[in-house]
Structure 1
């Protein structure tokens, strides 16, 4: 049937103002009717088939009903009854599927649960939260490289910072953001500033944005030859290195007085 056929247009016009939803109750009625039809083939009784036809009729009556709000209320009432019954089975199905596809481990230090795909051979597991803590403790400065996700920082990066306490306190932090457009991930960098400040880090002013990454950088991190913005970003990164080196020297040789 063509999308613009007259029959399809008439069907759409006829369904306008009707319920037309294959909701939870309708799916239950149709599945129960199908089960009764299959059972009737083995038991050879006509009353099961009659009940199945009645259930299908009720389903289509609700589907074509013009009392939309009434059908919504009926479906919500059925969901309040049906959801507690099927919720344990849905949870069990999800857990079986997860354990079939993944193996789960728990970090002994931060107790973070880690999920690893199965059938990938022998792998080495390193908790990113513990690794981040140890690196910040051993270094006098922090480079924060972040993309921009939905005008903010990625959820994984925020989750990593949630496990920090005082490991980065009073240490300079320089934000380098990147994206596939000219903004260079500036919204992600702006969202990251209050998080780092709350951790007690000295956030250096003016983050370094790197824009148009696919047209500027290769997969190994080197600049593409003759890229239009390669010289500009190369100068900005060298300036970033000079800036954080200066602040690290200042804060290391002249530390904050202890509380």
Structure 2
């Protein structure tokens, strides 16, 4: 025991104090009279010094002058998963821009300037024909763009009919839903029809009869245009007979 402490509990300061006490005791023994108490056994003193040296070596090995051991390393807490950020809501201007881009993707023909006016091609329409007539239907909201019907009035529609050509013009209609630029939307169909003469043997009488019938046949000289469903879809239907 060293001052009431066990060897493993000694601090560096305790060891130094104990060593100092040993030196002090040795110097004092040199001046004592013969009647002083007898000194401790030298072998016991050597054993204590060895234990002291072992304590110093043990403290040096532990690397802690205070006699305390390092706390074991703690594992770092796991990182919390990063929550995905919500997509920002698009502004009204950005939504309008994306809508215009979508409409431009649908329309492959750009607007062009001709004779001082901006012209745009009607790319989508419905065509149906029979032996005696051909019907062309243009639905503004469906074939131009959504909302186009409100810009199309009856006085803006022009239909030109030639022998084998049909031209439909919608004057003063915006180029896109969000645009302030107006254009003449034009649909031009040519040739609209043709005839095929059969390669057969004919008598002179039969040939004269056939030529007479061809002269009386319709020559696409009549055009009938109907604007139906103006309150709903603004559908322009042209029929050539």
TM-score scaled to structure 1, two decimals? 0.17
Q: Which has the higher helix share?
A: 1
Q: Which has the higher strand share?
A: 2
Highest RCO, 1 vs 2 (Cα 8 Å, sep ≥ 6): 2
Greater gyration radius: 2
